[in-house]
Homo-oligomer: A and B are copies of this chain.
Amino acid sequence: MTEAPEPKSSRFVTLRNLLEQGSMRHGQRMINSMHPAEIARLIESLPPAKREIIWEFVEPELEGDVLVELNEEVRSELISGMDAEELIAATEDLEVDDLADLIGDLPETLIERVLQSMDAQDRERLSSILAFEADSAGGLMNLDAVTVRPDVTIEVVLRYLRMRGELPDRTDRLFVVNRHDKYLGGIDITTLLTEDPESTVAELMDSAVEGISPQTPAPEVAKLFENHDLVSAAVVSPEGRLLGRITIDDVVDVIREEAERSVMSMAGLDEEDDMFAGVVTSARRRAIWISANLATAFLAANVVGMFEATIEKVVALAVLMPIVASMGGIAGSQTLILIIRGLVLGQIEQSNARWLLWREIAVGLLNGLVVAGVVGTAAGLWFRAWALGVIVFAALMINLLAAAIAGVGVPLVLKRLGIDPALAGGVTLTTITDVIGFASLLGLGTLFLL
């Protein structure tokens, strides 16, 4: 009991081995002792053919929760293999917010049946969640908030709770509303346990805690939770009515997904895609990104093409040009990532962007002196041509300057255009540093070496 749980990956290995050896019984026990999120990660980590085997093992009452945790692609794959009865059984016990996430992936005809199997109140709740974007506060909320009136005493609340029985998971506070469901504040459960039972809710409630508007984007919700160390928070309509509550577990998922999305989008990938997708699906998916990059590669090659005559006479330029271009890309990417992170954290706008631009230019020139010095000297020695060395030096200085400016400017401009800098920043930047790197080296070479 006191030992750290076995690290997940090694448990996955054990399970995969059991499956290989055909030890089905033992494997099944192990799987059903896992948390739905872990089962989902395990299923995602298997090639498609083996997923069905695991899925058969999962107990029906866990199936719904596992489906919710799976990435979209694997989820629809499994759903398409389930019959209507199974699916209805799986969705039956889900929390309404989880059902809201899942329902869009169900077959049309089934949605109808699932809705009919719900009672009127749950149906209304479901539709109230579906009215909001999945990645907004409204889409994240649950409808299981426990509410109390401001004028009752703590003692009455305690009696009510004991009568009510089991509280929803992660209930750290009750929400205080008036007769018209208007949100007034929250009262911590620990307050109920420690304060004078004769006090009224109104006396002890925390009315400074603001309700979150249902339209608030999920990342904004995550920041609120992080900054205020919340476990749950109220979602409140523009008219002040309590709509539901958001709990930290869903916020943690938002933070994790947001982080994954930004890394994956740097390579034009989608974090909801199946890592074990088939060859054709994967190839088609990556083709767009590769095409975009191919176009920019042609652009850069075109610049080189303009200087064919120069290269023919001074071949050394062809040898050195990848260095000039790639060093610009490397230095520029450092600036780019720094700025993108600052934008995500809300730490950069107009007023301090200028400060950063100047700092980056200075850093670029300072490191440029070193890099250009080394490469220039090396080039001079290598090709025994000092004029060439000076030209390489100058081209590198120009490109590192361009890299600094592009590293600050590209993400700011993309953001203003409404394009995700994490997605398009890298391609745009390296296109700029490639073009300027090639043009400056070959251009200076044409001017001074021919």
Q: Are the C-beta atoms of B331 and A275 separated by less than 8 Å?
A: no
Q: Find chain B residues with CB under 8 A from A290 CB.
A: 327, 330-331, 334, 367, 371
- Once A2-B211, A226-B37, A363-B283 are accepted as A-B contacts, the answer to whether A276 and B308 lie under 8 Å apart by CB is no
Q: How far is the CA of A1 from the CA of B239 in the complex (A)?
A: 11
Is A286 an interface position by the 8 A CB rule?
yes
Q: Find chain B residues with CB under 8 A from A334 CB.
A: 267-269, 286, 289-290
Q: Are the C-beta atoms of A286 and B363 separated by less than 8 Å?
A: yes
Q: Are the C-beta atoms of A279 and B45 separated by less than 8 Å?
A: no
Q: Which residue of B lies closest to A169 (CB)?
A: B229
- Once A2-B236, A193-B189, A282-B359 are accepted as A-B contacts, the answer to whether A347 and B275 lie under 8 Å apart by CB is yes
| Contact bitstring A126-145, B, C-beta under 8 A = 1, else 0 | 00000000000100000000
Is A228 an interface position by the 8 A CB rule?
yes
Q: How far is the CA of A331 from the CA of B355 in the complex (A)?
A: 36
Chain A: interface residue count, which band?
Answer: 35 or more
Q: Are the C-beta atoms of A41 and B346 separated by less than 8 Å?
A: yes
Q: Indicate how many identical chains form the complex.
A: 2
Q: Find chain B residues with CB under 8 A from A211 CB.
A: 1-2
Q: Are the C-beta atoms of B166 and A287 separated by less than 8 Å?
A: no
Is A385 an interface position by the 8 A CB rule?
no
Within A221-266, the residues touching B (CB, 8 Å) are 223-229, 231, 236-240, 248-249, 251-253, 255-256, 258-260, 262-264, 266
Q: Find chain B residues with CB under 8 A from A356 CB.
A: 275-276
Q: Find chain B residues with CB under 8 A from A271 CB.
A: 341
| Contact bitstring A297-314, B, C-beta under 8 A = 1, else 0 | 110110011001001100
Within A40-79, the residues touching B (CB, 8 Å) are 41, 44-47
Q: Find chain B residues with CB under 8 A from A447 CB.
A: none
Q: Are the C-beta atoms of B263 and A347 separated by less than 8 Å?
A: no
- Once A279-B362, A323-B298 are accepted as A-B contacts, the answer to whether A3 and B337 lie under 8 Å apart by CB is no
Q: Are the C-beta atoms of A345 and B41 separated by less than 8 Å?
A: yes
Q: Are the C-beta atoms of A166 and B194 separated by less than 8 Å?
A: yes
Q: How far is the CA of A296 from the CA of B379 in the complex (A)?
A: 15
Min CB gap A368→B, angstroms = 9
Is A366 an interface position by the 8 A CB rule?
yes
Q: How far is the CA of A46 from the CA of B347 in the complex (A)?
A: 8
Is A116 an interface position by the 8 A CB rule?
no
Q: How far is the CA of A194 from the CA of B210 in the complex (A)?
A: 28
Min CB gap A241→B, angstroms = 8
Is A4 an interface position by the 8 A CB rule?
yes
Q: Are the C-beta atoms of A1 and B190 separated by less than 8 Å?
A: no
Is A349 an interface position by the 8 A CB rule?
yes
Q: Find chain B residues with CB under 8 A from A118 CB.
A: none
Q: Are the C-beta atoms of B2 and A349 separated by less than 8 Å?
A: no
Q: Find chain B residues with CB under 8 A from A330 CB.
A: 289-290, 293
Can you spell out 25 A-B residue pairs with CB atoms less than 8 angstroms apart?
A: A1-B183, A2-B237, A3-B210, A4-B215, A7-B346, A46-B352, A161-B193, A167-B194, A171-B190, A172-B231, A225-B252, A226-B253, A256-B259, A259-B263, A262-B263, A266-B266, A275-B342, A276-B352, A289-B334, A290-B334, A300-B323, A301-B319, A308-B319, A312-B315, A322-B434
Q: Please list the residues of chain A having a beta carbon within 8 angstroms of any beta carbon in chain B.
A: 1-5, 7-9, 12-13, 16-17, 20, 35, 37-38, 41, 44-47, 137, 158, 161-162, 164-167, 169-172, 183, 189-190, 192-194, 207, 210-213, 215-216, 220, 223-229, 231, 236-240, 248-249, 251-253, 255-256, 258-260, 262-264, 266-269, 271, 275-276, 278-280, 282-283, 286-287, 289-290, 293-294, 297-298, 300-301, 304-305, 308, 311-312, 315-316, 318-323, 325-327, 330-331, 333-334, 336-338, 341-342, 345-349, 351-352, 355-356, 359, 362-363, 366-367, 370-371, 374-375, 378, 382, 430, 434, 438
For the complex with contacts A193-B193, A275-B347, 5 further pairs of A-B residues with Cβ separation under 8 Å are A2-B237, A2-B240, A225-B252, A275-B356, A279-B362
